[in-house]
A and B are shown apart, each in its own frame.
Chain A
Amino acid sequence: MEKISNCIVKETRGKSYKSHKYCFANDEIPNIKYENEQKITVKKIGETASIESTKELRGKAKQIQKISKPLFKYFLDGSRKTYKVDDIAYDRRVYPIIAGQIGVGCCERNENKELRKNWIEHQKVIVLPNCADKDGSGKLFFNNLVMKINEHPLLKKLDIKFERILSYADRELHEGEKYENLGIAKIQDEMIENEKKIVDRLTSKNILNEDSYLIKDGSLEYQKMKTGNFRDLSIIKNNYRRVVGVSKSFNPEKCIDKRGKSNAKIIAELKLYHRTPAFMYESTRVLNVKFAIWYLRIRDTKYTISPFDGILKVEKILITDKEQEDGLDTEEVDLISANLINERNPVCYGKDSRWANHLYPVYLTEAFIKSGYLSNGFFINLF
């Protein structure tokens, strides 16, 4: 039976090379540009109280565990798998065809301390170079193409549907840049867009409130915050009022103080259940959005491989004018931190090498999303 790549070749008048198909390994993914690696320059303190060094929160964590329910009720994660499925020639240039499976999901924790699905969405996408659209019709062309692909007998038979065809720029590449990375970046953007959609959904249902926060896996500082369907800054701000971004990995060398010196030593030497003061940070990517960022150690260094294992980078968007001016209320920083400490167990030791930085509900959400993917072999062989 004819494969999807043949259909693409036919419809876009290209030439297929029947190249080797493979799944991009996670460490090959050029996500450096998108998350965790931005240079964080501390403009000023990002919380209301002035904290000299670090703050111990073990007592508070214990106390709130006894007297109140956990602050975090919702857990959001997104992931994608990307594949090189063929090379295609238009004119005299050869471009990769990238395909991907995107999954975003949100789990909620019930009274019985068990996670349940709140929302999950899986999408399959194909990324082609801009020039695949020979007439320059743009979106319309790719929308038509995806409809044609979805009519393909193979997909009909297997009851599989591609959500959309994305396009990457057909431009001169900088040194070290690859078309593959441009394609993967498109899929990453699509995933982020879907994550934002879920936050918007939760907010519009009014289920995020002062007693029910959401942990979003990774940084909140989306590069393309001002693009997509959720570009309105005021909406984003409102949506993220009860959202905390928790990153497992970060480059400590990128955290520098006002004098341009590295903060890495302070972070590395954080004691167990201590947090750094919150710093205020204004993204260079998203203007007029300020973040409070702080670091929190949830595992003892004696059990971890590197001094940065067991440390979470915590982010929260500053919403109100007062917050933007004075920083996040220290009470809230402490409350978020103490609740994060209480999320430290159970661990996914043995299942995930990042166990020291993982929060179990987030890990489960991630596993839940990944459980819905088609297997690599199956997906690749559609093409």
Chain B
Amino acid sequence: MNKIIGKVTATERKPTTIDEFYFWTSKDMILTPFDVIKVSHINNSITFGVIEEISHITDTQSYLNSFISNDFGDVETQTNTKRIGMNYVKAKVIGNTKNIYIPVRNGEQVCFASAEEIQEALGLDKKNIKNPLVCGYIEMYDGNDKGVKVSLPVYFNSHFLLGPEGAHLNISGISGLASKTSYAMFLLKSIQQYFTNEIEKEIKEDVAFVLLNLKGRDLLAIDEPNENLSEKDKAIYEMLGLDCSPFSNVKYFYPYSDRNISNTYAQKKDVQTQLNIEKAYKYKYIFEYDKENLDLLFSNIEDPNQTMESIINYIISEQGNFGNIRNWNDFVKEVGEHCKAGFSGDKEITVSSWRKFKRIIRKALSNPIFAQRVSEQDKEIRLQNAVKNIRKNEVFVIDIAKLDEGMQGFVFGDVIRSVYDLQLGQFEEIPEEQIPSKIIVFIDELNKYSSKDIPKYSPILRQIIDISERGRSLGIVLFSAEQFKSAIHDRVKGNCSTHAYGRTNAIEISKNDYRYIPQVYKNMMTRLKQGEYIIQNPVFRSLLNIKFPKPLYKQFK
């Protein structure tokens, strides 16, 4: 028999309904929103509920009553009797063992649930979840007697995270406090292990990963172990059925730097070590092959008359002298020619438009990643070439942290365009069996590329929308993160099957995106600790408050 913690109360004002019920409990009973409780129901069935709100009441009728009860405002007053008080709890019905959904009855005892019952209630029983992919763990009844507390792994059905049933993950939360990257990496590690697991090898699916490193050296040593991982965290990984090794099959791609400009926060010796063991490459952009990506430099530029687009088309279609150009320097010179007063080129494009175009590209093209050619001996590579050759189970980390915002967008746009083309079979030279069936792209700061403020014709935005809408069937899965989910384009977040909410600020949760979330959960979002998330996935019967352990890979302080 589980511990009885209270009784259901159905009142005139707050009746029990198909969806919810209330119960009273002792004011000292430690409960938390998201805890699962059970109630006996008719036909020997059990109804499970998830705690949504906990209120404490006394028979104090008003504040005035309280004031009077202290001898009319004497703060030193002590009483012989405590006011009668209790907690009452609102619980949301999440299931019944016999699918009976008539309201639970007044006076029924409310109990803690056992681990098995919690799994059944939340639909977390691994045996009943197809393609189980661990996504964290839940803890319940914390703070109660020993033996009552329950810790359980939580599994996604991978088909609802990685397709074909549902795809894409969106993680939101305050920078630093929400550990968005850590949670994404935890999930990616879980996915990598899932697809490399001996037992799972029978599955005819495979996956590859493309991660963009946007902050410092965050993701530049994900194949090196975290020396500071505590025993407690190791035990959690064991409970979750994950090994404690870091990522495997990792390749790093650093933006090419020359003597004057360093394009990465990684230390030179570390990069050199990785280059020596063929774990890292330096990527470059070559005019001849990459001029078609020039539009990506204009992602965040308002272009209401589409003059920039016209210029790009002019260049790509090799009009004027652009057909004879083979390097970026000549390209800039040729653009310069078009900027001269009285230049007689395409009459539809004004000189002032060419000048605007030049202003935008000149700064970008001064970066050494725009180069004449690549040298394979020096481990230099074109990023598109690298991406299109990604193999099953490989993890590509593309460092863009030190690039300026426009360049970051350019590289990201190029990567997703390459992934998209690869999955669409646009690279004829790549044999089909070599192409991973799924490629997961992880990008932080999604708001930079697909916020509501981004110009409608931004090529990156269009690419992201396309991936979020069609990626599920193409095998492109977007793991994205941002501070403010409310700022993200509706079509992008609307197509995400899974949403993870880390610590979020109060202004953000007042936005429409959070309207359907119960107020208490919203308030909890503002207090979530690092390593804690509220998860929404179509497989779960309600929102889940999950936790995850510290990262397995090397952390730079």
Contacts and interface: CB of A to CB of B under 8 A. Distances in A.
Contacts of A346: 60, 65-66, 69, 79, 81, 83
A277 interface: no
Interface in A308-363: 342-351, 355, 360-361
B84 A115 contact: yes
A343 B79 CA distance: 7
Interface string B55-80: 00001111011101111100001111
A343 B72 contact: no
Given A112-B82, A114-B82, A115-B84, A349 B64 contact: yes
Contacts of B72: 300, 303
B500 to A, nearest CB: 42
A109 B80 contact: yes
A348 B66 CA distance: 9
A58 to B, nearest CB: 11
Contacts of A209: none
Contacts of B62: 349-350
B69 A347 contact: yes
A300 B82 CA distance: 22
A364 B77 CA distance: 20
The interface residues of chain B, by DSSP majority, are classed as loop
A349 B61 contact: yes
B65 A347 contact: yes
Contacts of A343: 80-81
Contacts of A112: 82
B262 to A, nearest CB: 67
A350 B65 CA distance: 7
B517 to A, nearest CB: 36
A312 B64 CA distance: 23
Contacts of B78: 65
B80 A349 contact: no
Interface residues of A, number: 25
Contacts of B77: 345
Contact of A349 (B68, B79, B81, B83): B68
A231 B191 CA distance: 83
Contact of A113 (B64, B68, B69, B80): B80
A113 B59 contact: no
Nearest to B58: A346
A70 interface: yes
Interface residues of B, number: 20
A65 B77 CA distance: 11
Nearest to B27: A114
Interface string B69-112: 11110000111111110000000000000000000000000000
A360 B59 CA distance: 11
B7 to A, nearest CB: 14
B80 A70 contact: yes
Contacts of A351: 59, 61, 65
Interface string B299-317: 0000000000000000000
Contact of A360 (B64, B66, B81): B81
A364 B70 CA distance: 18
Interface string A188-225: 00000000000000000000000000000000000000
A338 to B, nearest CB: 12
Nearest to A364: B84
Contacts of B82: 112-114
Given A115-B84, A303-B72, A345 B79 contact: yes
A369 B38 CA distance: 30
Interface in B134-175: none
Contacts of A360: 79, 81, 83
Nearest to B71: A345
B67 to A, nearest CB: 9
A313 B77 CA distance: 24
B68 A342 contact: no
A110 to B, nearest CB: 10
A248 B8 CA distance: 36
Interface in A8-34: none
A344 B72 CA distance: 12
B59 to A, nearest CB: 7
Interface in B542-556: none
B285 to A, nearest CB: 74
Nearest to B67: A349
A361 B81 CA distance: 7
Nearest to B76: A62
A342 B78 CA distance: 8
B65 A113 contact: no
A364 to B, nearest CB: 6
A93 B69 CA distance: 54
Contacts of A349: 61-62, 64-65, 68-69
Nearest to A65: B78
Contacts of A347: 65, 68-69
Contacts of A367: 59
A113 B84 contact: no
Given A345-B69, A346-B69, A349-B68, A113 B61 contact: no
Contacts of B81: 109, 113-115, 343, 346, 360-361, 364
B28 to A, nearest CB: 9
Contacts of B71: 344-345
B59 A342 contact: no
Interface string B218-253: 000000000000000000000000000000000000
Nearest to B74: A345
Nearest to A368: B84
A346 B68 CA distance: 8
Contacts of B83: 346, 360
B64 A350 contact: yes
Nearest to A359: B81
Contacts of B61: 348-351
Contacts of A109: 80-81
A150 to B, nearest CB: 24
B278 to A, nearest CB: 70
A303 to B, nearest CB: 7
A148 B193 CA distance: 76
Nearest to A70: B80
A300 B73 CA distance: 13
Nearest to A361: B81
Interface in B455-512: none
A115 B59 CA distance: 13
Nearest to B78: A65
A377 B304 CA distance: 74
Contacts of B66: 346
Nearest to B59: A351
Contacts of B80: 65, 70, 72, 109, 113, 342-343, 361
Counting from the closest, the 8 A-B pairs by CB-CB distance are A350-B61, A346-B69, A70-B80, A113-B82, A349-B65, A345-B79, A349-B68, A345-B69
23 contacts: A65-B78, A109-B81, A113-B81, A114-B82, A115-B81, A115-B84, A342-B80, A343-B80, A345-B70, A346-B66, A346-B69, A346-B81, A346-B83, A348-B59, A348-B65, A349-B61, A349-B68, A350-B65, A351-B59, A351-B65, A355-B68, A364-B81, A364-B84
Given A114-B81, A349-B65, A364-B59, 12 more contacts: A113-B82, A115-B84, A303-B68, A345-B71, A345-B77, A346-B60, A346-B69, A351-B59, A355-B68, A360-B83, A364-B81, A367-B59
Interface of A: 65, 70, 72, 109, 112-115, 300, 303, 342-351, 355, 360-361, 364, 367
Interface of B: 59-62, 64-66, 68-72, 77-84
